[in-house]
A and B are shown apart, each in its own frame.
Chain A
């Protein structure tokens, strides 16, 4: 991979932070945007302009072409069987909420169990918790192994006849382990269980083929893969999307209705897309998908894992560093720093790194059940992407060598 050439596509990499060239290692939170994505968004505002699916004029037709073209791009990106299986959303959180509400209302009954796990992001867990309150469904947890991973053995242990849904992330945003989705799908389908996969952290980094994985639902967020914020995809197998009644109603999703209360919805996916969509977002997302494909997911994954290995090598003598996910094959390093045997609070370290121009995340990373497993209140997460370099990793390592409690407090003076 020609990282130096790739970096030229990202205008933001020329900026500084705390007076130093920025080292952006918070890609798990969101990613930076390349020029082709920025151009696609700008082109909507400077040239296309109109609403989608509405007008009888040339501009509107061009918007439709771009909008529905983006749906085809997304279909190809995920290798979905039908283009109708691609529903635009505002992102993973919206998709997961819609799925949880629709499935709970229409498919589940009191006492049914949804399987989750303690490494889930709030957006994959809370929608099921809340949707289940009306119905009286219950959430059980797949036990994580000692590293924090999901294993097939542990999964099988909690499978009961009450389990009707399994809802989990393909890649954990905290530890970066990949769940064995394909095998889980096979087991789920033998038992008539629906498998709902949160692809927020897997889609940007791994090749995804929803047919090969055989997942029933899959969501993603464009902003975590070089696309714009506020837009994403909810994939669902056609048979389910055709059956399910949407959560939202309004313009564009209905075909006709009358005063007697009759309502005929459009076919999926449009029945799930009430109201004006983030058109520039959808177009920008498609540009991001094309950009990512031009680099290649295999290359991206291999390169990120190489950066992580490099980080681990360069820090092997750094005794104050505790890494929680050494063996996770991804670009995510979750760690803490000690000083004189005592843990330094994660946020203090992250603020120190900020003064060195390095962006990382501290806290619980929206997975608030996980600290119980790691037995620390918070961690620091450095998450790499394909535009990061070994030189940037060197800067992180150099900064970590300077981390002491005193230096972390010194930034305030």
Chain B
């Protein structure tokens, strides 16, 4: 489906200029993942509270480019209130989209804005840094 690029650009700009859930919390019931070794520049921490198989809250903070900030912001909105299983499916579809493979765009909502990051191959890492952090947190929550 060809979505109007102007609209997609606006989604990214909006989440970059007004990032959602961009504030960390001091609370031991949250799992936390600091993504500082994947790239030289983007430095993002993601926190999430998971209880009863459901994601109660997701937050992040850090210094990062437009793509890393906006993609993480969108991720926090998309995955909150989802069950761990649902979240895993969304994550899988997101990574498929980034890899230019088949994916279910209905599951991804605003995150489809990143469907073309692969055009700038060196920026794939930016579009996935926050999502990878969340993937790690989900694994940890399942005791892996």
A377 with B41: in contact, given A406-B9, A412-B67 (CB under 8 Å)? yes
Q: How far is the CA of A344 from the CA of B16 in the complex (A)?
A: 11
CB of B143 within 8 A of chain A?
no
- Chain A residues contacting B43 (CB-CB under 8 Å) are 377
CB of A374 within 8 A of chain B?
no
Q: How far is the CA of A345 from the CA of B65 in the complex (A)?
A: 5
Task: Tell whether, in the assembled complex, residue B65 and residue A412 are in contact, meaning their CB atoms are under 8 Å apart.
Answer: no
Task: Tell whether, in the assembled complex, residue B5 and residue A413 are in contact, meaning their CB atoms are under 8 Å apart.
Answer: yes
Taking residues whose C-beta sits less than 8 angstroms from the other chain, chain A's interface range is 20 to 34
What are the interface flags for A363-386 relative to B under an 8 Å C-beta threshold, 1 for contact and 0 otherwise?
Answer: 110000000000001100000000
Chain B nearest CB, measured from A364 CB (Å): 6
Q: A65-73, A95-103, A346-354: which lies at the B interface?
A: A346-354
Q: B78-86, B89-97, B118-126: which lies at the A interface?
A: B118-126
The count of A-to-B residue pairs whose CB atoms sit within 8 angstroms is 56
- Of the residues B8, B64, B126, contact of A413 by C-beta under 8 Å: B8
Task: Tell whether, in the assembled complex, residue B40 and residue A363 are in contact, meaning their CB atoms are under 8 Å apart.
Answer: yes
CB of B116 within 8 A of chain A?
yes
Task: Tell whether, in the assembled complex, residue A364 and residue B66 are in contact, meaning their CB atoms are under 8 Å apart.
Answer: no
Chain B 1-38 interface residues, beta-carbon cutoff 8 Å to A: 5, 8-9, 12-13, 16
Chain A nearest CB, measured from B69 CB (Å): 8
CB of B60 within 8 A of chain A?
no
- Of the residues A344, A346, A412, contact of B12 by C-beta under 8 Å: A412
What are the interface flags for B48-89 relative to A under an 8 Å C-beta threshold, 1 for contact and 0 otherwise?
Answer: 000000000000000111110000000000000000000000
Taking residues whose C-beta sits less than 8 angstroms from the other chain, chain B's interface range is 20 to 34
Chain A nearest CB, measured from B12 CB (Å): 5
Most chain A beta-carbon contacts within 10 A, residue among B5, B8, B66: B66
**A377, closest chain B residue (CB):** B63
CB of A58 within 8 A of chain B?
no
Task: Tell whether, in the assembled complex, residue A409 and residue B66 are in contact, meaning their CB atoms are under 8 Å apart.
Answer: yes
Most chain B beta-carbon contacts within 10 A, residue among A347, A412, A413: A412
Task: Tell whether, in the assembled complex, residue B41 and residue A408 are in contact, meaning their CB atoms are under 8 Å apart.
Answer: no
**B116, closest chain A residue (CB):** A412
CB of B117 within 8 A of chain A?
yes
CB of A263 within 8 A of chain B?
no
Instruction: Return the 8 tightest CB-CB contacts between A and B, nearest first.
Output: A413-B5, A345-B65, A377-B63, A347-B65, A363-B41, A363-B40, A348-B66, A378-B41
Query: Which residues of chain B have a CB within 8 Å of any CB of chain A?
Result: 5, 8-9, 12-13, 16, 40-43, 63-67, 114, 116-117, 119-120, 122-123, 126
Name 22 A/B residue pairs within 8 A (Cβ), A-sorted. Answer: A345-B41, A345-B64, A346-B41, A347-B123, A347-B126, A351-B122, A351-B123, A362-B41, A363-B40, A364-B40, A364-B41, A377-B41, A378-B41, A405-B13, A409-B9, A409-B13, A411-B120, A412-B9, A412-B116, A412-B120, A413-B5, A413-B8
